[in-house]
Structure 1
Amino acid sequence: MLKEFAELSTPLVADACVRHGIPLRIAPAGIGAVVPGHRVAGRVLPARHYGSVDVFLEAFGRAEPGDVLVIDNGGRTDEACVGDLAVLEAEAAGVAGLVVWGLHRDTPELVEIGLPVFSYGAYPPGPVRLDEQEPEALASARFGPHLVSGDDLAFGDDDGVVFLAATHAEAVLATAHEIRRTEREQAHRIRSGDTLRSQTSFDDYLARRAADPSYTFRRHLRRIGGAIEE
């Protein structure tokens, strides 16, 4: 999956979802890579954290190569829930990366390990609590307002993390590639002196909108084959 995502970005995947009418499922703003530039893509391996690493070890027993461990720690900012040992074990299990709704620690060690980890940031203390584990602990994970499971894929880069149902992946990624090609061509033309206003026939758009207030810029772009907002 990471190979499929190699030339794409989370903004392109998000725009492709919009074009297909698929509701966006985006990790909350602030979730980012421990090491800038790290990217991740793969099937969601969900785990809900209750204060102990045992749930991660159990999840790793179910992992398939290339899975992305998605950790639900409720977005907590009073504890870090993963550190170097959990990440090393993830690597040993063939996991492609971790996406944490919460915080991490052992930052220098994580940088050295090199496995992509996405979180809200670093915080020194680990958990001092131990809550009761729910039956769904390894079946699904909450991430902000979203619920994800093994039926979903996770894509992460410097712009954040996007979740996508695996059943939509082929169509969405194909459209994302189309949008990328269009946008790269538009960028090349801007650098060559052909302004975006000219490329998008913006004066024509303004005239059409004046005659028909319901005529949106997105509708106009679709009519002329441009790509900016989606």
Structure 2
Amino acid sequence: MTQTLLDRLGRLDACCISDAADQLGLPPAVTGIGWQSVRRRIAGRVTTVTLAPGTPPNGSHRHLCTSAIERAGPGDIVVVEQRTGVDAAGWGGILSNAAQMRGLAGVIVEGPARDIDEAAELGFPVYSRSTTCRTARGRIFEIASGEPVTVGDTLVSDGDYVVADSSGVVFVPTARIEELLAAAERISAREAAMTEAVRAGEPVGQVMGARYENMLSETEAAQ
């Protein structure tokens, strides 16, 4: 069942998912986070990591994000909250290699990431708020893995669903994924029909009139 949901999710872009989220009153898309390494849409289940400034108080030598990679499954996406304000990478090259070897779909960092050229050479998708050369060592550390994180203004839980592409990032709560997919597929089908009409010569003003503007209304959602 989960794989079927993921297959359906992977066929939809972030804009369509965002429109469906708007229609259902779910948190809006997160903007300002973009692909850094390879231009590839990613879709999957979330594995969360939370980072904090400073060094581990107990002297732990476990590197940030390693536990998330080890517990994630193929197709999962690591989501890292690095909102410390410290210019230090919440993700790097060895992590990209490890994640790729385990079959992860990509990583999304609310904050900086580094070793972007290495990730690009690997073909591993890194989405982040920004990039930096500065190491995490001595600057930031992991305080939680598997706990809720905040990306943009959205609270994201471990196991939620996410789609990211060049337009933005959209998170979907687990409990609402089937409802959202049904709405997104209706929207996608209607937009595809409108695109076909435009390419067939129908005036764009006519196509993008009431049919488009009212697409997300309750009346249109029920059809």
TM-score interval, smaller chain: 0.7 to 0.9
Counterparts of 1:199 and 1:157, CA distance in 2: 26
Counterparts of 1:81 and 1:104, CA distance in 2: 5
Of residues 93, 97, 103, the one that matches 1:94 is 103
Identity among equivalent positions (%) equals 27
Of residues 53, 58, 64, the one that matches 2:73 is 64
RMSD between aligned residues: 2.8
Alignment of 1:64-213 (within 5 A): 64-74=73-83, 76=85, 78-130=87-139, 134=143, 136-199=144-207
Query: After TM superposition, what 4+ stretches of structure 1 lie above 3 angstroms from structure 2?
Result: 50-53, 128-134, 199-202, 219-223
Q: Which amino acid aligns with 1:218?
A: N
Deviation digits for residues 131-166 of structure 1, max 9, x if unmatched? 5754x4432222122221124111111111110012
Counterparts of 1:87 and 1:97, CA distance in 2: 8
Aligned length: 209
**Match of residue 59 from structure 2:** none
Q: Is the CA contact (8 Å cut-off) linking 1:70 and 1:99 kept in structure 2? A: yes
User: Gaps (5+ residues) in structure 2?
Assistant: 56-61
- Compare CA radii of gyration and give the structure with the larger one: 1
Q: Is the CA contact (8 Å cut-off) linking 2:14 and 2:168 kept in structure 1? A: yes
Cα distance change on mapping 1:7 and 1:42 into 2, 3 Å: closer
TM-score by length of 1: 0.78
Cα distance change on mapping 1:35 and 1:170 into 2, 3 Å: same
Of residues 33, 36, 54, the one that matches 1:34 is 36
User: Gaps (5+ residues) in structure 1?
Assistant: 206-216
TM-score by length of 2: 0.80
Residue 191 of structure 1: how far off its partner (Å): 2.4
